[in-house]
A and B are shown apart, each in its own frame.
Chain A
Amino acid sequence: MHCHRFLPVAPTRRDMLARCANGFGAVALAALLGDRAFGDNVAIDPKNPLAPRKPHFDGKAKSVIFLFMDGGPSQMDTFDPKPRLDRENGQPIKVKVEPTQFNNVGNVLASPWKFNNHGQSGIPVSDLFPNVATCVDDLAVIRSMVSNFSEHTNANYFLHSGLGQQGRPSMGAWATYGLGSVSQDLPGFVVLGSGMIPPGGLDCFSNGFLPASFQGSVFQRGGQPVADLKPPPGGEARQPAKLGLLRKLDKGVVDRFGPDDQLEAAIANYELAFRMQTAVPELMNLDGETRATKALYGIDEAATDSYGRQCLLARRLVERGVRFVELLCQNLGHDRWDQHANLKKGHEDNARAVDKPIAGLLKDLKARGLLDSTLVVWAGEFGRTPMAQGTNGRDHNPFGFSLWLAGGGVKGGTIHGATDDYGYHVVEGKTEIHDLHATMLHLLGLDHKKVTYRFGGRDMRLTDVHGEVVKAILA
């Protein structure tokens, strides 16, 4: 469709084969050489790795919006009420204390927030999330999450890639590898930066050993959302002439080198770059959105403007067929959701910034009929301790925490699993990060055991050798 719009190289005899696959034209040389394709269960068209692929079965979700609550929100202050904390507030905790990150264990700390039951389902939500609370009938809350790590970086890598170390593909990369992406003007896996890069850095969104086509593209806030999207100042006027010359000279290269897939794909690659130069500013420009829509997301209100814009962008990305969108937290002048001290102020600031935008996103998606095909996931990398760190904070707790999913084939109004009376350890329906991943892929119509990639002598998957779909939350 987009072929020849930008670089009308005279057709070679293999032209159609080599360059006409939706214009993305990406080629993994390794795949051509037969190594990487060996043992993979996903048939990637080397000419167009982002071409949409059929799922294994009919998944409701077509896209994912992952709302990453960097730092680890507290379960007993959000979605998992624990009256025992009120009863024993200020007393030493009566169960064995696990080692913690700061090793500064205080007494039981009651939640500073009240819980109320909401919606038809009556799911309890704390006062931190008055707006999200109005959407509870669309949420499936998992209260029995566990992680394997108490440290941010490992837990972040683990949540994103299924392994607590650097180097594995992020779940967005896996989803895009498995399904390709409908959008042919934008990357398939977009990360909307809001000012904070989580511990572990950009590797949380890495393609790992998967071809670079599946790596997360971080769109930052500010003048230039994508690196090197625009020529340096003053360079734009000359660009058409330069590209004209480039086209002619590149044609000469093809004539000189002879037909070669890589070479021709690299030429065609300029096409997507060119389209992105138009598509990204168009995406980022919210002028066409109505005032009512903006208000729904809390745009133009001081506390919610920033995250509201990101949420609205997430919807726009999904509308344009981008497969996986991740939203990062913004900088509120303190340490994201990581309240080792001053839990009350910190969590309140964090919640205020995202509550209305997230509710807005859910409602807007629903109103546009997109919620059914969009899986929204709200999660931190772990939860927090029921006892205080010091006097007024909470330390990291990977032994039990909450997250929720909505839309895209999720059974709304569900609570799955339970922690003990303190909200400390899972006692029922233990759900691993691998299970979350298996479930997310399942909702996308993918069998997590079949989305594999041969690397380092074995067939790697997002769920490693683990993972079971959490059937209880499926619609």
Chain B
Amino acid sequence: MLLHHTMTRVALALLIGTAALSCVAVASDATEPTPAGVEFFEAKVRPVLVASCYPCHSAEKKVRGGLQLDSREALLKGGDSGPAVVPGDPEKSRLIEVVRYAGELKMPPRDKLADAAIADLAAWVKMGAPYPKGGAVVQKQGQLDIAALKKHWAYQPLASPAIPNLASPITQNPIDAFVFARLAKEGLRPAPPAEPRVWLRRVTFDLTGLPPTPDEIAAFEADPRPDAFERVVDRLLASPAYGERWGRHWLDLVRFSETSGHEFDFEIPEAHGYRDYVVRALNADVPYDQFIREHLAGDLLREPRRRPDTGTNESILGTGFWFLGESKHSPVDVRGDSSDRRDNMIDVFGKTFLGLTIACARCHDHKFDPIPTADYYALVGYLQSSRYERVFLDPPETFAGPVGEIRDLRAKAAALAKAKATQVLEARLGRLPAALRDLRDGTASPELAAARKAADLDRPDNPLHPWALLGSHKDDKAFAAARDQHRRKPDLARKDILFETFAPESYARWYRTGFAFGDRPAGVEDVSLAADRPLAVARVRGPHVCDSGVVSNRLQGAIRSPLFTIEKDFIHYRVAGKAAKVNLIIDGFQQIRDPIYGGLTFAIDHGDAWRWHSQNVAMWKGLRAYIEVLDDGEGYAAVDRVVFSDAGPPPPAVLPATRLLLAEDTLTSSDRLADRLAESLRSAVGRWRDGKVGVGDAALVNGLLNNPLLAALAKDETPDADLAALAGRVIDAETMLPTPRRGLGLCDGSGVEEPVYIRGNHKNLGAPVPRRFLVALAGTDQPAPPKTSGRLELAERLLAPDNPLPARVIVNRLWHHHFGRGIVGSVDNFGIQGQPPTHPELLDWLAGELVRQGWSLKAMHRLMVLSATYRMSSRSDADADAKDPANRLWHKMPVRRLEAEAIRDAMLAVSGRLDRRMYGRGPNPHLTEHMQGRGRPIGGPLDGDGRRSVYLNVRRNFLSPLFLAFDYPVPFTTMGQRGVSNVPAQALSLLNNPFVVQQAGRWAERTLATPGTTEERLTRMYQSAFGRPPTAEEVREATAFLASEPDQRRAWADLAHVLFNVKEFIFIE
């Protein structure tokens, strides 16, 4: 049936499609299929194609993956993954690979074809894939017509609409001109102004999320000045509560959470610092364009914004928003996991700043908007070129002074110490040959023998190791034989790649943050002081060592390698240090934990000796990675070698000096060895003294400095008093170093281009795309800097004057929160699938005004809440309600329900429990017995210590049920518009939740503690909760209610509880 149907269509296409066919036929080879080939095709191949392939790969049905199999041209052209067949070569044909289920892509997806059918397909390809002429027209690949799609209103430049001329006495500002002109056009009249106190309650909740206090109400009502309204607005905008309220709105956009969800809900370190940054930025009225710039590239600004009180870097904290999403600790497929996380980042980025659903283009060109898939991966490139970091916030001057001072002191001390140490070492080495002979001959003192044992000469990195190998042979023949054996010992044939040796040039290619790692690797002039010992120097730190302890163990910092591709099974690191850590970050993956990933992180905590650490990375071959060395506390990290190898054991540790010595022709006896060994070591010490030390020499010198055998050769050595004093000053200076302040954010890494993932599949990579902003908004000519992420340029392109979206999107968000609905109803989607603006001229005027006002959000708030539109009553006449039932034209102000946080905060405010402390890590959520599961935190207090809701710790897997009942958003993506639902849990929680009952009790106590008559008390309660006095009837009802219960404390608590449940408490007019 299916076959018949298809044949009919093919025939039809042949008849009517000649012209179209001739166009596509040009691309294919012109050879006619042989009759035998056609016969084979019709008998064996076409039935398989029709039954198993055409349903998804034919013009008739669907064209999945851009692939059609219904004509030879189509097969040769192929789909997103390239041509389907290479005629004559089944082994190179994608079609054969996928039907064999040989690779990642398996087709048909549900049931593998029978072996015979697969063999037939291969045989057919082998014979050149004969396919009768004709068949379906190859569909045009879905090339986005960007120019046509760009005609959508949202992509048009900001218009400069004329303000309608409206001679109305109630007009306050241009907003009203636009809104009222439109109403007039529709034959509607605006609702009359609301009572001033209704406006006061409305604007106070809107700007601060709190109810007006009775004193504020009284002051406003008593204020006769013509600018009383303006004064209220200025007061509210200046209140810290403004930033808390609008900060919470912003947190909805960036899916703010302080844990990463998934199985164990691990914490996101310093996430609350981002929240505090937002609150401060809004209170400071940071221009919105700057706010965006900081989110995208706050770490790269030449002159970051600094906190006035602490001088710390504010701008960099904006970049923390990228990392507030969900993440997991043990993805089996790390690349798949990374691409999911980046998808979320791009999604949040696009919706928040541009009102565009860019992430839709992850798997295919956007179905509606002019956003090709390449744009998506162009943006991913910026993320691939950037890295997670616990950023450093202190101003450079906080550390520059002390660090400079310590450096100077250390340089002086080091020079003194070196002089002393070389002198001592040379003296000791002078006594070495005799001591070695004594040891050989058994004539050494017991102390010396013990020292030799302690010296552990068997270690191949010991400078005296040659003696351990050969020194016992007194007989020259035996000596020579042993010497030859050690000479002959071949090095393992290892094809290691010496990835990093930390020479100054290569060190400079690493990415440093913080203050611990210097701008050069540690050198021979950098020494660890041992001022109280005769040797004065514990060790030489350089040369060519990546070392965070050169200045002080108290400094913190991080250093990260350039990006590389894992190509060997093992990575070997030679490290030393205390309280430090090394991570291998694979494809941006940060949640390094067991199972699976535990081996990608290791602590350095053993001390000064060099040790190898090996990682097996065979699982992740082919993926991109970087190494990060972290010094986050009192300690230091030192790395001097990073080796990539196919061998599991680290490279052999024999010192080059040992090998050279054994190779000497004149080395014919142990006596000679004792002399030559001492001589070569003395010359190494001499080179150190003269500042000509090489890498190998430093290892020798350090081996000598810490060698018990040499220590046993000390004679008449005394510590240097000057040096001890100097060292004391170093320690004093170090104690002055503050603990650095850290935050959540980004730092730059190697600039890389991300390939397109064909159909969103990270295992099927296409061509790399250069980093760039959306082509529809910024064109194609926008080169990114090759060596850095280029985020700063991205921010500037996004903020270019000809991009209308950032300004339009943000003024619409403000409007949405003030007027209950955006001018564009779909606040997070201005794309073609979004809703068109109800008042396009007003929207553009507002967006233009924002720019004219220097991107001041507070100026826009002032404009909006002082408009006559905002001052309207929420009651209108029946005629207007009938004509504009959904109030799309704002013929009145809508009645609005408060958000979860405002409801809770209002309860705290009226009960007197509200604690206005700002910032910091907030109390944990209060846990109920219903909040179970892995990662369950320690529960916080029922009343959250009275803190405002914005400060309560947000845990993805343990969101407050009280909040969720009132539509608190699950933090998974941008949520510019919360739902306003109505579920029984709302009624149940207001009636029975222990927090609500507790606050009602407090409110009652507070009320009873104030002297007054029942009516006076009731008036105060009503003013607090509803911003108005009670009516006579309300007083009567409440009084009767109070009288019905003999226990007055109880009665007042019950009354307070009822008032919380009165709808006026959670709704504003």
Q: Which A residues contact B (CB, under 8 angstroms)?
A: 25-30, 32-36, 38-39, 99-104, 149-154, 164-167, 187, 193, 195-203, 206, 208-209, 211-213, 215, 217-218, 220, 222, 224, 226-232, 235, 238-239, 241-242, 245-246, 248-250, 252-253, 256-258, 260, 262-263, 265-267, 269-270, 272-274, 276-277, 396, 427-431, 454, 456-458
Q: B930 to chain A: which residues have CB within 8 Å? A: 193, 218, 220, 227
Known: A257-B1069, A457-B826. 6 other contacts (CB 8 A): A28-B982, A35-B826, A149-B332, A220-B929, A262-B1067, A457-B369
- What distance in Å separates the Cβ of A422 from its nearest Cβ neighbour in chain B? 16
**Cβ of B979 < 8 Å from any Cβ of A?**
yes
Q: Which residue of B lies closest to A331 (CB)?
A: B932
Quick check: B982 and A166 within 8 Å, CB to CB?
no
| Pairs A-B, 5 closest by C-beta atoms | A167-B972, A29-B980, A273-B987, A201-B957, A457-B357
In terms of DSSP, what is the predominant structure of the interface of chain B? loop
**CA–CA, A224 and B989, complex, Å:** 13
Interface status of B434 (Cβ within 8 A of chain A): no
B970 at the binding interface (Cβ < 8 Å): yes
Q: Cα distance A222–B1041 when bound, in Å?
A: 35
Q: Are A26 and B970 in contact (CB under 8 A)?
A: no
Contact between chains at A33 and B886 (CB < 8 Å): yes
The answer to whether B262 and A267 have CB atoms under 8 Å apart is no
Can you report 27 A-B residue pairs in the complex whose CB atoms are below 8 A from each other? A25-B982, A26-B981, A29-B979, A29-B981, A33-B821, A149-B332, A153-B261, A193-B930, A201-B934, A201-B957, A203-B956, A209-B979, A212-B979, A213-B982, A215-B983, A228-B991, A228-B993, A230-B992, A242-B1057, A246-B1062, A249-B1059, A253-B1067, A257-B874, A276-B984, A430-B109, A430-B110, A457-B829
Interface centre among A100, A232, A266, A267 (most CB of B within 10 A): A266
Contact A226 B957 (CB under 8 A): no
Smallest CB separation, B402 vs chain A (Å): 45
Q: Does B351 contact A (CB under 8 A)?
A: yes
Q: How far is the CA of A265 from the CA of B826 in the complex (A)?
A: 24
**Contact, CB under 8 Å: B360 / A457:** yes
Indicate which residue in B596, B958, B977 contacts A35 across the interface (CB closer than 8 Å). Answer: B977
For A265, list chain B residues within 8 Å (CB). Answer: 982
- The answer to whether the Cβ of B525 comes within 8 Å of any Cβ in the partner chain is no
B262 A200 Cβ-Cβ under 8 A = yes
Q: Which of B328, B829, B979, B1059 contacts A154, CB < 8 Å? A: B328
Instruction: Report the Cα distance A209→B935, complex, angstroms.
Output: 25
Contact B1054 A269 (CB under 8 A): no
Q: Do A211 and B984 touch (CB < 8 A)?
A: no
Q: How far is the CA of A401 from the CA of B820 in the complex (A)?
A: 49
Interchain nearest-CB distance for A276 vs B (Å): 6
Interface-side segment among B245-253, B447-455, B627-635, B830-838: B830-838
In the assembled complex, the CB of A261 is this many whole angstroms from the nearest CB of chain B, namely 9
Q: CB within 8 A of B897: which of A99, A154, A266, A430?
A: A266
Chain A residues, CB < 8 A from B1062: 246, 249-250, 253
Q: Report the bound CA distance from A154 to B112 in whole Å.
A: 27
Q: From residue A298, how far is it (CB to closest CB) to chain B in Å?
A: 24
- List the B residue with the shortest CB-CB distance to A148: B336
Residue among B328, B820, B982, B1038 having the largest count of chain A Cβ atoms under 10 Å? B982
**Which chain B residues lie closer than 8 Å to A151 at the CB level?**
262-263, 328, 330-332
**The stretch of B210-218, B501-509, B572-580, B1029-1037 that contacts the partner chain:** B1029-1037
A27 touches B982 (CB 8 A): yes
Residues of chain A lying within 8 A (CB to CB) of residue B621: none
Which residues of the other chain, B, contact A215 by a CB distance below 8 angstroms?
964, 983
Give which listed residue, B829, B895, B972, B1055, contacts A165 with CB less than 8 A.
B972
The reply to whether B262 and A199 contact each other, CB–CB distance below 8 Å, is yes
A34/B989 contact (C-beta < 8 A), A213-B983, A260-B895, A262-B982 known: no
The answer to whether A199 and B977 touch across the interface, beta carbons within 8 angstroms, is no
How far in angstroms is the closest Cβ of chain B from A470?
10
A100 vs B595: C-alpha distance when bound (angstroms): 10
In the complex, B111 has a CB within 8 A of chain A: yes
Chain B interface bracket (under 10, 10 to 19, 20 to 34, 35 or more): 35 or more
A228 and B985 form a contact (CB under 8 A): yes
**B153 within 8 A of partner (CB):** no
A227, B821: Cα distance in complex, Å: 32
Q: How far is the CB of B995 from chain A (nearest CB, A)?
A: 10
The chain B residue with its CB closest to the CB of A236 is B992
Contacting pair A235 B895 (CB below 8 A): no
Which residue in chain B gives the minimum CB-CB distance to A201? B957
Taking CB atoms and an 8 Å cut-off, the chain B residues in 988-1015 that contact chain A are 988-989, 991-994, 997
- Considering only residues 823-867 of chain B, those with a C-beta below 8 Å from chain A are 825-826, 828-829, 831, 833-835
Within the assembled complex, what's the spacing in Å between the Cα atoms of A235 and B991? 10
Q: Are B980 and A28 in contact (CB under 8 A)?
A: yes
- B326, closest chain A residue (CB): A166
The residue in chain B whose Cβ has the minimal distance to the Cβ of A99 is B332
Q: Could you tell me if A211 and B330 are in contact, using CB atoms closer than 8 angstroms? A: no
Q: How far is the CA of A211 from the CA of B964 in the complex (A)?
A: 12
Inter-chain CA distance A202–B959, complex, in Å, is 9
Select A241's contact among B357, B897, B933, B1044, beta carbons within 8 Å: B1044
| CB proximity of B298 to chain A, nearest CB, Å | 27
A32-B896 Cα distance, complex, nearest whole Å: 12
State the CA gap A208–B1038 with chains docked (Å).
41
B1045 contacts A229, C-beta separation under 8 Å: no
Contacts of B977 in A (CB 8 A): 30, 35
**Which residues from A are CB-within-8-Å of B961?**
227
**Across the interface, which residues of B come within 8 angstroms of A246, CB to CB?**
1058, 1061-1062
**Contact, CB under 8 Å: B332 / A227:** no
Checking B367, B876, B1033 against A252 with a beta-carbon cut-off of 8 angstroms, the contacting residue is B1033
A103 touches B596 (CB 8 A): yes
Q: B366 CB to closest chain A CB, in angstroms? A: 9
Query: A242 to chain B: which residues have CB within 8 Å?
Result: 1054, 1057-1058, 1061
Q: Which residues in A have their C-beta under 8 angstroms from that of B360?
A: 457-458
Q: Is A28 a contact partner of B981 (Cβ separation < 8 A)? A: yes
Contact of A257 among B835, B875, B933, B1061 (CB under 8 A): B875
Whether the pair A457, B834 counts as a contact (CB closer than 8 A) is yes
CB neighbours of B347 from chain A (8 A): 456
Chain B positions 920 through 947: 1 when the CB is less than 8 Å from some CB of chain A, otherwise 0: 0000000011111111000000000000
Q: Does B967 contact A (CB under 8 A)?
A: yes
Contact between B933 and A197 (Cβ–Cβ < 8 Å)? yes
B821 in contact with A211 (CB, 8 Å): no
B1037 to chain A: which residues have CB within 8 Å?
245, 248-249
Cβ of B26 under 8 Å from chain A:
no
Q: Which of A104, A209, A431, A457 has the most CB of B within 10 A?
A: A457
A34 with B886: CB separation less than 8 A: yes
Q: Is the CB of B987 within 8 A of A270?
A: yes
Q: Give the nearest-CB partner of A30 in chain B.
A: B979
Nearest Cβ on chain A to B110's Cβ, whole angstroms: 4
Interchain CB contact under 8 A, A231 and B965: no
* Docked-complex contact B994 and A232, CB < 8 angstroms: yes
Q: How far is the CA of A23 from the CA of B21 in the complex (A)?
A: 64
Give chain B residues whose Cβ lies under 8 Å from the Cβ of A26. Answer: 981-983
Residues of chain A within 8 A (CB-CB) of B110 are 429-431
Interchain CB contact (< 8 A) of B888 among A34, A224, A257, A258: A34
With contacts A242-B1058, A246-B1058, A456-B351 taken as known, whether A99 is within 8 angstroms of B895 at the C-beta atoms is no
CB <8 Å contact, A253 and B619: no
Given contacts A101-B596, A458-B360, contact A263 B1041 (CB under 8 A): no
CA distance A262 to B898 in the complex (A): 12
Chain B residues within an 8 Å CB radius of A273: 984, 987-988, 991
In the assembled complex, the CB of B1051 is this many whole angstroms from the nearest CB of chain A, namely 9
Q: How far is the CA of A242 from the CA of B1059 in the complex (A)?
A: 10
Asked whether B1063 is an interface residue with its Cβ less than 8 Å from the other chain, the reply is: yes
A36, B1058: Cα distance in complex, Å: 33
CA distance A227 to B961 in the complex (A): 9
A241 surroundings in chain B (CB, below 8 A): 1041, 1044-1045, 1054
**Residues in B whose Cβ lies below 8 Å from that of A199:** 262-263, 933-934
CA distance A208 to B895 in the complex (A): 25
Question: Are the CB atoms of B1067 and A257 closer together than 8 Å?
Answer: yes
